[in-house]
Amino acid sequence: MVVTIVGIGLIGGSMAISLQENGFAKKVIGVDASSEHEKKAIRRYLIDEAMSLKKAVQQSDVIIVATPVDVMLKVLPEVLDLITDKQVVLDVGSTKERLLEALKEHPNRKRLVATHPMAGTEYSGPEAAIPNLFTGKYTVIVDKEDSAADAVQIAEQLYQSIEMKIAYLDAKAHDEHTAYVSHISHISSFALALTVLEKEKNDSKIFELASSGFGSTVRLAKSSPDMWVPIFRQNRDNVMTILDEYISTLSQFRTMLIKKDYDSFYKKIEEANQIRKIIS
């Protein structure tokens, strides 16, 4: 198949690598707002060539839109305007409710399969693209019944070809789930980085001693605001709910410290340890 990838960053670029390696794509065309990104993507052999959106869509079987989610609101209607009913469009965005609401009246809506491969790193841009980013992880297909059966089948084949497991959710459940298992982690990490960076202004040696545990909890704080602000904006209500719960849990720890209630502190940590059963 000929595959166009719109947005050749971490996700789009990694997908380009995997789909070429496994033969799903006989050709990968890249479309990016930045010509610098397009050049880098060609130099790194992520894509075969770069061209305008219109030209690229005309010669593609599958179009994958992998831009930040705010850009998707603009690009996806354009892509759907350009396609025939033989072509399939996939978006890979981290939020779904707002996007699918905006597209629901589009005459070609059924050619779009809304998906979310749950994989990533804290890096961005074509230089962040890596092989095997998706292997063994879950992808979500959202509101499957709003897409044509043949389009869903091609999306499933594509994700199976890069060895992803597939889950099915509606848009509302998807956005709530991802707020819990992805979006809140990022806010937690941004805030931790800011707290310690503030201290560093007066104490430049503090990071020498940073433990690997600290590195692990602030890793996500390297993530790009261009990707994340649109996600928090589109998933604001869910993120706010969980941020409230998170702050409330931290405040409980604070109260226990104030009261020197170390027995309750111990029990809370034991409860938190239950995460062992879930995260290997």
Name the nearest CA neighbour of 87 among 108, 117, 65.
Answer: 108
Q: Binding a copy of itself by CB under 8 A: which of 45, 104, 135, 250?
A: 250
Report in angstroms the alpha-carbon separations of 37 from 43, 46, 47, 50, 79.
10, 11, 11, 10, 20
- Name the residue among 130, 99, 235 with its Cα closest to residue 177: 235
Residue with tokens 């340890």: 273
- How much is the CA Rg of the chain, to the nearest whole Å? 21
Residue 190 binding a copy of itself, by CB under 8 A: yes
Q: Is the Cβ of residue 105 or residue 271 nearer to a copy of itself in the bound state?
A: 271
The answer to whether residue 215 forms part of the interface with a copy of itself (CB under 8 A) is yes
| Positions 123 through 152 that interact with a copy of itself (CB under 8 A) | 137-138, 140
What is the spatial distance between Cα 93 and Cα 61, in angstroms, rounded to a whole number?
A: 20
Least distance (Å) between residue 266 CB and a copy of itself? 5
Q: Which of 187, 104, 87, 105 is nearest to 142 (CA)?
A: 104
- Where in 97-126 is the site for a copy of itself (CB under 8 A)? 118-122
Is there binding between residue 168 and a copy of itself (CB under 8 A)?
A: no
189 binds a copy of itself (CB under 8 A): yes
Contact flags string 255-274 toward a copy of itself, x per CB under 8 A: --xx-x-x--xx-xxxxxxx
Identify which of residues 145 and 271 has a Cβ nearer to a copy of itself in the complex: 271
